[in-house]
Amino acid sequence: MKKRLFCLTTLLFSAVCLSACGSSSNGETLTVLNYGKYFDSDALKMFEEETGITVEYEEYESPEEMYTKYKAGSIDYDLLCTSDYMIEKLIDEGEVQKMDYTKIPEYKNIDQNIIDSSASFDPDHTYTLPYFYGTVGILYNTDEVDASEVDTWNVLWDSKYEGKIIMENSVRDCFLVPLKQLGYSLNTTNPDELDEALDMLLDQKPLIYAYFVDETGDEMAAGNASLAVVYSGEAAYAQSLSDKLEYSVPKEGSNLWIDSWFIPKTCKNTENAEKFLNFLCREDIAKMNFDYVYYATPNTAVYDNLDEETKNDTTIFPDKETLDNCEVYVSLDEEGTNLYNQLWKTLKSD
Amino acid sequence: MNRFKREFLTGPYIVWIIGFIVLPILMIVYYGVTDSSNSFTLANIIAIAEPIHMKALLLSLKLALVCTVICLLLSYPLAMILNSMKFKHQNFIVFIFVLPMWMNFMLRILAWQLLLSNNGILNTVLETLHLPQFQFLNTPSAVVFGMVYDFLPFMILPLYNSMSKISADVIDAARDLGANQLQVFIKIIMPLTISGVLSGIIMVFVPALTSFVISNLLGGGKVLLIGNVIEQEFMQNMDWHMGSGLSIVLMIFVIASMAFMNSHNKDGEGTAVW
């Protein structure tokens, strides 16, 4: 979900976009806001050449940053891509337009299973179009950890890995671990269940090397820790740096995250937005983006034509059994958010 | 130059000070004393009394204090040695100490992260020498280490400055009147450098108290300072009111420590914040 965002790449990328603007403009523009490094710039150029629409492409790093940017209201975005719980929050606030799927013929490529899973944040599936998805699991160093140990979150409480464990430095991804191990929902707002989870995390704290988000991949590749809780995307990135790393989603279950596109209220030209959505669902473009991003794609046309090795790579594509065990985040109400934040501060200040 | 012209020249600075200092502070105060429905409340400021926030504040004070004491203990003898050197050597040594400040301090802290990590350069060297490895990164000590490393020049420079102002005649006179080395130090050098010490303390203590980046990078998310709490309120919790309220409390601590130091600083050397 959150790939490393290198400023330089972004700069180069925006330079490419800007230079592309000059060539094929007929005055029509489309303003897109997406995660950093989440769309192949060549595909963007192709879209501009094919349609004559100029794309003003902007990037952000975290859903919270996106929310602040969007809410500031200084730019009218036509199309946005972000994560499940943040979309739900925006739908609740009435910021999202209904999507007319009949205008997006290539939508037929999208996997029905992922559409069904999206129901937790878009119940009637009228607002969103899934882009990439993945899980949260344990990335481990095969030199130090045996594969048989990591089928349970319990390994993260094993004192023999003292000072060798990295946890997620974001509240919900951190709490999902004890919640799932206790057999609770990762969307719980029950104070008793959350207190239990907090106690477990406090017990675990002395064993922790650090709480990281974006650094995790590099730290694991450098061998500074043996076990880490990560997004599957970050795991794939780390594996590309080191061949000693493996990824596993514990049997107690985990989080399934789905990043989706939606058309916000600020959209001026729905037709262009639909053209863009149709374009990115097309097999060749979805394949380009899959090769660029390397997260699990819900595009069945792309998936069916992949080689067996990639299809069976469970780091990228979680198997059916794992997915059934996973829950999608739903957005918390204000009370729930405050409770989580309070517990988070308690954990961190200990 | 006539009066009008002189006032005109201060224009850019006035614009700067209003736009980037006065307005932001007013906004922090506004957010700090209102809640999400924009009505007046002191809850955001009183929130500092919550055990979690208190813990973070006390830890910040403790680490900042330790950092200041270490900086002082390192800098004082160094400044004395510097002062006793020949003139051309002095400049070179001062240059060496100021040199790291030319580089972005975040980059230097990131470099320490690489040096100190479990498989970092330091532990690799220890391993080749068959010495026991140690885990230093991601502890409060590592955070203090980073602070000392970053803020040491701010202590050395005012100390060296005040020492170089002591005339050699004063010390010679003390010696003539029969003072021994220790007496010269206690009765002459220490009282005459106290203003430098106080400036140095402020210039180290204040940034150490308010820092959050160093604790993020060298604390591995395990060391929660009051600065980190404020950052979290702004960036993750999107509660600008709480973040501003806690910022006001932190500002009060900063101003109080400066006022305390200045009331003991008769000569008005260095900082002059009032």
pLDDT at B2: 65
The residue behind tokens 């004491």 is: B69
- The architecture that CATH gives domain A7-133+258-311 is 3-Layer(aba) Sandwich (3.40)
B118 to chain A, any CB pair closer than 8 A? The answer is: yes
Residue A242 neighbours by CB under 8 Å, 6+ apart: A220, A221, A223
Asked if A209 and B229 come within 8 Å (Cβ–Cβ), the reply is: no
Asked if pLDDT for residue B172 goes beyond 80, the answer is yes
Structure tokens, B31 = 């957010």
Q: pLDDT for B63-73, tens place per residue? A: 999 999 999 99
Separation in Å, CA B250 to CA B25, B66, B260: 13, 18, 15
Asked if pLDDT for residue A8 goes beyond 50, the answer is no
Q: Name the A residues in 67-86 with CB < 8 Å from any B CB.
A: 67-68
Model ipTM value: 0.82
Per the CB < 8 A criterion, the answer to whether A59 and A8 are in contact is no
Cite the residue boundaries of each domain of chain A with CATH code 3.40.190.10.
Answer: 7-133+258-311, 134-255+317-349
pLDDT at A9: 46
Q: State chain B's mean pLDDT as an integer.
A: 88
pLDDT at B3: 67
Question: Which of B55, B56, B236 is the closest to A64 by Cβ?
Answer: B236
Give the mutation candidate from B104, B112, B123, B224 for the A interface (greatest A CB count, under 10 A): B224
Q: Identify the top-confidence range among A8-12, A235-239, A294-298, B241-245.
A: B241-245
Average pLDDT over residues A111-138: 93
The DSSP 8-state label assigned to residue A271 in this structure reads: H
pLDDT at B266: 62
- Closest Cα in chain A, distance from residue B51 (Å): 9
Q: What is the band of A285 on the pLDDT scale with cuts at 50, 70, 90? A: very high
Question: Which of A68, A211, A349 is the closest to B220 by Cβ?
Answer: A211
Question: Which of A164, A171, A210 is the closest to B222 by Cβ?
Answer: A210
- Closest Cα in chain A, distance from residue B218 (Å): 10
Asked if A209 and B138 come within 8 Å (Cβ–Cβ), the reply is: yes
Asked if B235 and A64 come within 8 Å (Cβ–Cβ), the reply is: yes
Q: State chain A's mean pLDDT as an integer.
A: 89
Asked if A348 and B220 come within 8 Å (Cβ–Cβ), the reply is: no
**What are the chain A neighbours of B236 within 8 Å (beta carbons)?**
64, 170-171, 341
Question: Who wins on pLDDT, A127 or B117?
Answer: A127
Give the mutation candidate from A62, A212, A349, A350 for the B interface (greatest B CB count, under 10 A): A349
Average pLDDT over residues B190-198: 91
Q: What is the band of A71 on the pLDDT scale with cuts at 50, 70, 90? A: confident
Per-residue b or e along B253-264, where b marks 16 or more CB atoms closer than 10 Å to that residue's CB: bbeebbeebbee
pLDDT at A26: 56
Give the mutation candidate from A89, A345, A346, A347 for the B interface (greatest B CB count, under 10 A): A345
The conformational region for residue A267 under phi > 0 = left, psi -120 to 50 = alpha, else beta, is: beta
Taking the C-alpha atoms of residue B223 and residue B138, their distance in angstroms, rounded to an integer, is 8
Per the CB < 8 A criterion, the answer to whether B44 and B249 are in contact is no
Q: pLDDT for A269-284, tens place per residue? A: 899 999 999 999 999 9
Q: pLDDT for A195-252, tens place per residue? A: 999 999 999 999 999 998 888 999 999 999 999 999 888 898 899 899 999 999 999 9
Per the CB < 8 A criterion, the answer to whether A231 and A136 are in contact is yes
Q: Determine the CATH number of domain A134-255+317-349.
A: 3.40.190.10
Please name each of the domains of chain B with its CATH number.
49-263 (1.10.3720.10)
The conformational region for residue A34 under phi > 0 = left, psi -120 to 50 = alpha, else beta, is: beta
Asked if pLDDT for residue B32 goes beyond 80, the answer is yes
**Which segment of B8-17, B194-203, B265-274 scores lowest on mean pLDDT?**
B265-274
Question: Which of A170, A210, A345 is the closest to B220 by Cβ?
Answer: A210
In order, the DSSP letters of A239-253 are HTT-TTEEEE--TT-
Residue B20 neighbours by CB under 8 Å, 6+ apart: none
Q: What is the band of B270 on the pLDDT scale with cuts at 50, 70, 90? A: very low
A64 to chain B, any CB pair closer than 8 A? The answer is: yes
**H or E stretch at A136:** strand A128-141
Asked if pLDDT for residue A260 goes beyond 90, the answer is yes
A208 to chain B, any CB pair closer than 8 A? The answer is: yes
**What are the chain B neighbours of A169 within 8 Å (beta carbons)?**
221
Q: How many A/B residue pairs have CB atoms within 8 Å?
A: 62
A312 to chain B, any CB pair closer than 8 A? The answer is: no
Per the CB < 8 A criterion, the answer to whether A227 and A210 are in contact is no
B104 to chain A, any CB pair closer than 8 A? The answer is: no
pLDDT at A256: 93
Q: pLDDT for B212-266, tens place per residue? A: 999 999 998 899 999 999 998 887 777 889 999 999 999 999 999 888 888 877 6
- Closest Cα in chain A, distance from residue B55 (Å): 7
